[in-house]
Structure 1
């Protein structure tokens, strides 16, 4: 009996040690509880402010056109009144919900707001994806998928159902001809499995993946989801459309959805990878990048092949394909960003003016850990993860998206450099900073 008790005590100690090392220590580290904000020093001319790009939650660099697409808002404080991803439901008035799709030219640092043809809103932007129109030459026209968090009329109408969800979140599909000033609304997409949609990766005009970042939409249990990495209640969906254009029967007509990835903590941003079947999915609050492969035919799934640890919460990832890579240096990798002190998220998210310091990270396959074509292999230990930019909150408030645009080494005297564009759901502008790769 004494021997069995001793074994039980040892096993319990091992279990507690594992829980402490893997969950407690890492949670404290990622939260930034003991971290002081820092500010990357920049040379004159290495910092640009992209004006009139307000509360841009997501950015996507469209390589064929060289342009950056952004999902933005109309007013600096709009996210405080209504933004379900932050648990903000105080003002469901649709008159204030005037989200925007914008195009940023990374050479001129100017932005253009696209007029949305055939669409009158409401529009509360979140994650987006941009893919080439397969029926046009690459770089000539694109489809834009955009999450839209509309108020639910079943909840807010007169004598509405108080038990109905407050948000009726959907995906809007637009078509845009590169160089034009408009985006044509193709259709609205909805499925009952859309609970808390966050970000998207599209394969074609009729196939895309979308994450549900929480199981609970508000309240204490939603906070529990953020704080405890054991709350593995989120998923990613694969959505298949009968056809891209609207069909009779409403927003859900011709829409099929199935669970592609599940039982992970706080799934958030998605990104394409180097290969067609590569996909990246961020576990935001836990600071984990899930490296995956797309598998299957009709009901596609995401198979996670490795997990990369970051040192802070990470929001939307983006894959940087180094156009100047050679046999001796390839800067390709995954860029992601988040708050320096995630622990302050709950106290800061509802404030009008506050400093929210940020960190931008880049994960690259270690030298010698690439297959032909540069794809990363094996476990997460094969990745180098480094901070490439920090700000104390004075240049930008928080960070939810970041993309790299390479600079021709000839313009930099042979140095390998890039413009890093950073945006946030709470920032009045997008910023761009020049960094070394």
Structure 2
């Protein structure tokens, strides 16, 4: 009887510890109120699931990765593909770029790289029927031409990518496990089993491991740095990029929020869409909750200096749920999300 009671006590302590750690480390107890340190809402675009964005800065074009995940979750057909906003036009509206593609495109992370004047290489992660690929395009003006499909077993669970040349890119595998037990450990225990890979234009290789749900990526070419958002780790990992594309870890920047996609402004400051409560976000994504809180933060990082963080915008989910990306341009800030029915555009006062 004593052994049984001892075992029962240990079991109860384990269960309490498991749930306590999971809820605490995912931000469940955090209260999220409305905060706006940027400016009021300028416009709302009725586009669902604008999960990621890319900026063609020289031509004032924003490319949107659109997927109506809410409808797909319900077994319905919804909008999906790449859209373009011309910021030179007075009325901001989205133009569909991929309606004539001969294959389905359910985009996730996207990245853009300037080529000649007015032309860009654009790559996007595509998920179709459980299979993953990277689709490569040429953007010329407002015309998109498909170049090639890149795939391989190293694309285990690709989430985001960032181009470092017209052909080479880094990408994040947000899970490293295929078993349900391993995925459970990654999602709820924060097991560091996922990784970052590198494609040099010809082949893949894994260049960073031991990451908890790596998500958004950004490359700072001026400092030769790669930033990797670890959503489950509540941190941004900073790597130094070597000449052959390998990565050397410099440090972890703790963020106290579930960081998603990372964008760099003209001063190399990081703008990050975040999920401050991952448990609520998971329930929202599965259709068990109607809203999920949003948060936008910035990080000013310089080698040898302490990172400077700032909260720019938070919302409990009443204005926009599940923010995943924040892209600044001039006086505007474009806010996207995982599966809300609209995106927001803020404008400085």
- TM-score, structure 1 normalization: 0.69
**Who is 1:78 aligned against?**
71
Structure 2 gap segments, 5+ residues each: 1-16
Are 1:184 and 2:145 matched, yes or no? yes
Give, in whole Å, the separation in 2 of the partners of 1:76 and 1:214. 19
Give, in whole Å, the separation in 2 of the partners of 1:422 and 1:172. 24
Are 1:350 and 2:286 matched, yes or no? yes
**Could you give the per-residue CA deviations for residues 61-86 of structure 1, whole angstroms, max 9, x where no partner exists?**
2222222211002x4623425xxxxx
Structure 1 gap segments, 5+ residues each: 1-19, 82-90, 152-166, 242-254, 323-331, 366-375, 408-418
Give, in whole Å, the separation in 1 of the partners of 2:24 and 2:328. 26
Give, in whole Å, the separation in 2 of the partners of 1:220 and 1:289. 26
**Could you give the per-residue CA deviations for residues 327-361 of structure 1, whole angstroms, max 9, x where no partner exists?**
xxxxx521112223222133221118611111111
Distance 1:431-1:275 versus aligned 2 partners, 3 A rule? same
Give, in whole Å, the separation in 1 of the partners of 2:239 and 2:312. 24
**Who is 2:175 aligned against?**
214
Distance 1:218-1:132 versus aligned 2 partners, 3 A rule? farther
Give, in whole Å, the separation in 1 of the partners of 2:184 and 2:91. 37
SS in structure 2 opposite 1:336?
strand
**Who is 2:304 aligned against?**
378
Distance 1:351-1:385 versus aligned 2 partners, 3 A rule? same
Give, in whole Å, the separation in 2 of the partners of 1:377 and 1:218. 39
From 34, 44, 50, the equivalent of 1:39 is 34
Distance 1:345-1:399 versus aligned 2 partners, 3 A rule? same
Distance 1:30-1:104 versus aligned 2 partners, 3 A rule? farther
Whichever structure has more strand as a proportion of its residues is 2
Give, in whole Å, the separation in 1 of the partners of 2:104 and 2:223. 33
Give, in whole Å, the separation in 2 of the partners of 1:396 and 1:66. 25
1:2-401 paired onto structure 2 within 5 Å: 30-40=25-35, 46-73=40-67, 75=68, 77-81=70-74, 96=77, 99-106=80-87, 108=90, 110-116=92-98, 119-133=101-115, 136-137=116-117, 140-151=118-129, 167-178=130-141, 180=142, 182-217=143-178, 219-229=180-190, 231-241=191-201, 255-273=202-220, 275=222, 277-297=224-244, 300-322=245-267, 332-351=268-287, 354-365=290-301, 376-378=302-304, 382-401=306-325
Q: How far did residue 42 of structure 1 move?
A: 8.2
Give, in whole Å, the separation in 2 of the partners of 1:377 and 1:27. 33
**Who is 1:17 aligned against?**
none
Give, in whole Å, the separation in 2 of the partners of 1:186 and 1:125. 16
- TM-score, structure 2 normalization: 0.86
SS in structure 1 opposite 2:203?
strand
Q: How far did residue 431 of structure 1 move?
A: 0.4
SS in structure 2 opposite 1:402?
strand
Larger radius of gyration: 1
**Is the deviation greater in 59-68 or in 232-241?**
59-68
Report if aligned partners of 2:72, 2:78 keep a CA contact under 8 Å in 1.
no
**Could you give the per-residue CA deviations for residues 203-248 of structure 1, whole angstroms, max 9, x where no partner exists?**
222211111110235734313202223x11111111122xxxxxxx
From 336, 344, 347, the equivalent of 1:431 is 344
Give, in whole Å, the separation in 2 of the partners of 1:24 and 1:320. 38
